[in-house]
Amino acid sequence: GVPAGVYNVVHGFGGDSAGAFLTEHPDVDAYTFTGETGTGETIMRAAAKGVRQVSLELGGKNAGIVFADCDLDKAIEGTLRSAFANCGQVCLGTERVYVERSIFDEFVARLKAGAEALVIGPPDDASSNFGPLVSLKHREKVLSYYQQAVDDGATVVTGGGVPEMPAHLAGGAWVQPTIWTGLADNSVVVTEEIFGPCCHIRPFDREEEAIELANSLPYGLASAIWTENASRAHRVAGQIEAGIVWVNSWFLRDLRTAFGGAKQSGIGREGGVHSLEFYTELKNICVKL
């Protein structure tokens, strides 16, 4: 077992609660945090007092890139998972999807069919595979983006609201899985992390254009590339500004490998030797014999 006091859980929410106390306490030597970029910036400012270490895994607005030469069945299945797993409440989820124009219409139609086939219900119902959001407050935030998408001129391919639920479930934080097309690249729905079950799909014509679109935001947590061309996969993956890039997969991870974000999606890496290095101090001891 682990000796008493090595691992402690302190609960609390809000700026005046446990988080602020711990980040400002002088006896804390290092911080590792997973959450919003704004909160990470606050922790960095607190850690600067005393020059303490930080490891941050922060927000993202992850992009999927789907080339015409992909295995379309796998690309649809993977994008469905990456957009709607855990009701979209996954930091690694895909909220932007860039699809080569020649397969754009088919991709949108098939992703729509997949989203509409999801069964909404509580997680203890074995027949359901799409649960609620974490709270009614978070639902208000997600629904505000749903409305913003309409205000910005989006085509709502599917979803965009609250599903009808049985009376005994009506009080839950339910939302529909939602797909949009037609938004401008600078719409807040395209540029800000929503953390809900939604994605915007946009066509592209050239490989370079897809890379530019994927890299256009200040975030760089994760990306997924769908292509059967191995040379293209390596070429594009090497140019994507993200801490992890999946090829023909999503959420595939070995805990021995590095995990973390680029740009405003984080600082440092977790996993394997990277975690050991963060929690220990490298020391050089020289002895003259």
pLDDT for 210-244, tens place per residue? 999 999 999 999 999 999 999 999 999 999 999 99
Residue 130's Cβ-side half-sphere holds a number of Cα atoms within 13 Å equal to 24
Residues of the chain with pLDDT > 70, as a percent, come to: 99
Residue 20 has a pLDDT of 86
Is 254 part of any domain?
no
So which residues are the catalytic ones?
A: 57
Is 227 part of any domain?
yes
Average pLDDT over residues 170-194: 99
226 pairs with which residues across the strands? 66
Is 14 part of any domain?
no
Is 145 part of any domain?
yes
Is 287 part of any domain?
no
In the chain, how many H helices and how many E strands?
9, 12
Write out the residue range of the structural domain in which residue 175 sits. Answer: 63-247
Mean pLDDT over each residue of the chain, to the nearest integer: 97
Structure tokens, 81: 């998972």
Output DSSP code: residue 6.
S
* CATH number (domain holding residue 191): 3.40.309.10
Is 238 part of any domain?
yes
Residue 15 has a pLDDT of 65
Average pLDDT over residues 191-213: 99
If one counts the domains in the chain, the total is: 1
pLDDT in tens, 249-278: 999 999 999 999 999 999 999 999 999 999
Q: Are 131 and 174 in contact (CB under 8 A)?
A: no
Show Cβ contacts of residue 206 under 8 Å, excluding neighbours closer than 6 positions: none
pLDDT in tens, 164-181: 999 999 999 999 999 999
Q: Would you say the C-alpha torsion 90, 92, 96, 102 has a positive or negative sign?
A: negative
Residue 139 has a pLDDT of 99
Is 81 part of any domain?
yes
Is 36 part of any domain?
no
